[in-house]
Amino acid sequence: MQNSQKTALIAVFAALHAVLYLPEGPWRSLVIYLMPIEGIILGPLFGFSSAVLGSTIARMIKPNIFWMFGIIAEPIGVAAAGFLAKGKWKETALVCGVMLVAYFAHPYGRMLPLWTVLDLIIAFALVYPVAKTGKWLWEKPSARFLAALLLIAFVSTVADSMTRVFLMIPVGLHSLLVSSEDELVAMFVFGAVGSYLEDLFVCITTLVAGAPLLAGLRKFLNLEKPLS
């Protein structure tokens, strides 16, 4: 693929990223359903760039108080999908590991209910084995293809969540949103419930719509690996 075609594809995904942010999602936004495919097709470098561009444009069109969460978290989620699709695990494990350690080192991380971050812990534990399934994405559609896509979608979506938790607690952005520990616990618990539901919705959407979309794009673009 020529550089001009790669640039055009990055621009298309950035535009889709921005457009899917605009409708209201239940907790985050509809863009989370695109992010795994965006990372798998574009790879970690181009995917990260596309997500940064798309999320920035989206917040310029529709700004809100949570703008800093999406602009940082969405590119990390997309990059995680790209790395895993290439069979690389160290980069994702390093970033997620640092964020988890920072969370549990913070007093609030030890105070907040453990069940609210179980998906973060599970996703971190899955990074290495999921990376080993990355090569299945480039085989003919099969049960292994679906399994790899589903696992990568889950881990990359949770990487987005983990980044938001990192920004909220260790970085301290919660101080901009709540004024007491009780409010923080309530907001965190509500957010955790929404995050678990979105993990489930992403997995279902990936199986129903993401698998045929990825198979079609892979064939149309003649891809045997991510673009970057």
Residue range 87-106, pLDDT digits in tens: 999 999 999 999 999 999 99
206, 39 contact by CB (below 8 A):
no
Rounded Cα distance between 33 and 12, Å, is 16
Per-residue tokens: 19:
């457009």
Rounded Cα distance between 5 and 159, Å, is 29
Q: What's the pTM?
A: 0.93
Looking at residue 25, its pLDDT comes to: 65
For the chain, state the CA radius of gyration: 17
What sign for the dihedral angle of Cα 210, 211, 216, 218?
Answer: positive
Please tell me what DSSP assigns to residue 115. Answer: G
Looking at residue 180, its pLDDT comes to: 86
Looking at residue 1, its pLDDT comes to: 66
Looking at residue 171, its pLDDT comes to: 93
Looking at residue 38, its pLDDT comes to: 95
Task: Domain ranges for the chain, please list them.
Answer: 3-221
pLDDT < 50 stretches in the chain: none
